[in-house]
Structure 1
C-alpha cells in the first residue's frame, strides 16, 4: 500500500535532472526556452496528479482531510475494507450447501451453459428505501461487456450519488450492492431509475 501512495504522489514524474520525456536537461541558464518547456511539463504533471486525486475523492465515501496524502490514505483504507468484505462473501459462498457446488460442476462443463433454475433471476433489480433519501440497490445480472458502465451512467444521469458499492461475480453472473442517495423528487426518480436499470440488465433474447 505504501508503494501505491508513493506512485500516486510521484505520478507523471517530477524533479531530477531529466525532462518528462527522459531527455537530459542542459546546463542551467543555457536557454530560456528550455526553462519554459520544463515549466510546462511540470504543470502537466501537477494537472494529472490533481485529476487523479479528484477522481479518488469522487469514489471514496469517507475523506477525512482534503490533502493529497490523506486522500490516498483514505482510499487505501477503503480498498482494504472492500477486500475484507469480498473475503467474507467468498467464505459465505464456500460454506453454502451442495446446491451451489452442483451449479459449479454444471457450469464447468460449458461456460456458455446457464442453469435453467437461474434464468428467472437474471436481470433482477431491487430498491430498498432506508429513509432520508437513501436506498439500498441490488442488481443481479449476467456478465456482459460494458453493462456495468451503463449502470453507473444511468445512476449519475439521474442525480443518484453512490455512497458505497460491492460486487461479487460467480459462474458468468454478477451481483452488485449499492448504497445510494437520491436527489430531487424521489418517487419520480426511483420509478424512472428502476425502469432504466431493468432495461439495461435485461437478458437479451436470442
Structure 2
C-alpha cells in the first residue's frame, strides 16, 4: 500500500515538473532544442539577459533630450526610448509621429519626474533599418521640441486666479 502511494505521488510530481517545462518552452523566445537540459540552460541565459537589460535602464529621466531606437531580438518589435521636457500634448505628438511612420505602439512605459518625461515604447510596423530611420526622423522633432512658455503665471494650477 505504501509503495502504491509513493508511486502515485512520484507520478504527480513528474507531471507537475513536465507542466512547468512545457510552460518554459512556450515563453522562451530563442529555444531551439526541446529537451529539459536545453530548456533549463536557455532559461538561465535568458534570465541573465533580462537582468542585464533591467540594470541598463536608468530609473529616472535624463536631464538632456535623448532618443534611442533599436530592433528587438525577435525582430517583430522595435524599442524606442526617449527622454525630454514634459509638456501638454506630448504623447499626442508622439502618437501622430508614429502614425506618420506607419508604426504602432503595443506597449508603453512612461515616467515623469521634475518636469522631465522618460518613455519606453515597444513598437510594431517598423521593418528593418529603413523603418527605424523613418521612425527616428518622425520622433526627433517631437523629442527636441521645448515646452512653450506661457504668460499666465497660474497655468496648470487647479486654483482659480485671484483678481
TM-score range, shorter chain: 0.3 to 0.5
Choose between structure 1 and 2 for higher RCO, CA contacts under 8 A separated by at least 6 residues: 2
With the length of structure 2 as denominator, give the TM-score of the two structures. Answer: 0.47
Which of the two has greater helix per residue? 1
With the length of structure 1 as denominator, give the TM-score of the two structures. Answer: 0.38
